[in-house]
């Protein structure tokens, strides 16, 4: 039976991953942690306040709960990291090496997500390969590339069972957007329900990879349960489900809300980040090595998002 410590449990991924893991492994076996106090469903199982820049606190909580796995999610996202690059480095890299060290010391399995932000403008933009040039031009991207290499190092040097994926933009109706460049793909659904209109800060024609959160959560569990002998890459697997631009979301929404309108007021900071990322990525390594396959496309995701948000906003 897995006993898993999750950092960043109140973030976009963490808030939903905790529920998923507790359903799979049992409430008492999932220790949620965050720098903030627990709220709502998170308080229904084990919870600890943990600052990931405090290595002694991470060790103390991992030891106390006798965990065998750390899933490290605590991080500043792309747009926020550009506003506070030094803070982003301290949190993103400091938290990562602290959790890796605890995993080494206690012989724990380890997961942390990378991102399509690890790619840069010189990376091939169409069907970006699993193994390719990575020269990001954002602090978030630099953090992610360094993190991928650090996880590989801890696996090769110390034998830590590190695993990870490169997430595309994640779309969810549960947690609010958290400062990412792809947040428009969440906001557009809320505004479709509330206003039947949305003003996108990302320009028309800007393709980026996306994924519905249920597929992302399933991918984490599936990768962590995979036979390590079959994992050639181990860390930073490309995974994706949808390559789309703002008008694709608008058209999918218009099938359900015919009067929905989209307009554009481009944010140059986030647009520059988006332009540096791939249009689409190749997930074939994840498919071959641990059977990754997304369930939702843009149409099935849109239907579910609109239904869930309408119910949530009642």
Any catalytic annotation for residue 189?
A: no
- C-alpha dist (Å) from residue 96 to 66, 138, 143, 162, 195: 20, 18, 10, 12, 40
Three-class secondary structure of residue 104 per DSSP = helix
Distance CA 99, CA 141 (A): 20
List CB contacts of 230: < 8 A, sequence separation 6 or more: 289, 290
Distance CA 27, CA 44 (A): 8
Region of residue 5 (phi > 0: left; psi between -120 and 50: alpha; otherwise: beta): beta
Active site residue: 140, 184, 212, 296, which one? 140
Under a CB-based contact definition with an 8 Å cutoff, are residues 195 and 226 in contact? no
Closest-CA residue to 180 (of 211, 150, 156): 211
Cα radius of gyration rounded to whole Å, the chain: 19
As annotated, the active-site residues are 140
């Amino acid at each position: 039976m897995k006993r898993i410590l999750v950092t960043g449990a109140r973030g976009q991924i963490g808030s939903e991953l905790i529920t998923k893991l507790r359903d799979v492994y049992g409430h008492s076996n999932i220790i949620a942690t965050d720098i903030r106090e627990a709220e709502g469903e998170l308080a229904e199982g084990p919870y600890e306040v943990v600052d990931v820049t405090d290595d002694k606190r991470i060790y103390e909580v991992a030891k106390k709960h006798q965990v065998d796995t750390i899933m490290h999610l605590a991080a500043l996202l792309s747009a926020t990291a550009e506003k506070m690059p030094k803070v982003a480095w301290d949190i993103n890299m400091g938290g990562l090496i602290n959790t890796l060290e605890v995993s080494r010391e206690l012989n724990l399995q380890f997961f942390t997500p990378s991102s399509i932000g690890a790619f840069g403008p010189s990376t091939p933009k169409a069907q970006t390969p699993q193994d390719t040039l990575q020269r990001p031009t954002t602090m978030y991207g630099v953090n992610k590339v360094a993190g991928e290499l650090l996880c590989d190092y801890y696996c090769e040097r110390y034998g830590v069972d590190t695993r990870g994926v490169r997430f595309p933009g994640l779309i969810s109706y549960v947690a609010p957007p958290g400062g990412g460049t792809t947040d428009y793909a969440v906001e557009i659904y809320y505004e479709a329900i509330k206003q039947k209109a949305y003003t996108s800060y990302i320009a028309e024609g800007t393709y980026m990879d996306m994924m519905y959160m249920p597929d992302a959560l399933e991918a984490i569990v599936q990768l962590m349960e995979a036979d390590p002998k079959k994992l050639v890459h181990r860390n930073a697997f490309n995974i994706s489900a949808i390559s789309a631009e703002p008008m694709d979301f608008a058209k999918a929404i218009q099938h359900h809300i015919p009067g929905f309108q989209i307009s554009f007021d481009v944010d140059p900071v986030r647009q520059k980040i988006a332009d540096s990322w791939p249009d689409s990525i190749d997930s074939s390594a994840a498919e071959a090595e641990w059977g990754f396959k997304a369930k939702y496309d843009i149409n099935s995701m849109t239907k579910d998002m609109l239904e869930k948000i309408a119910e949530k906003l009642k």
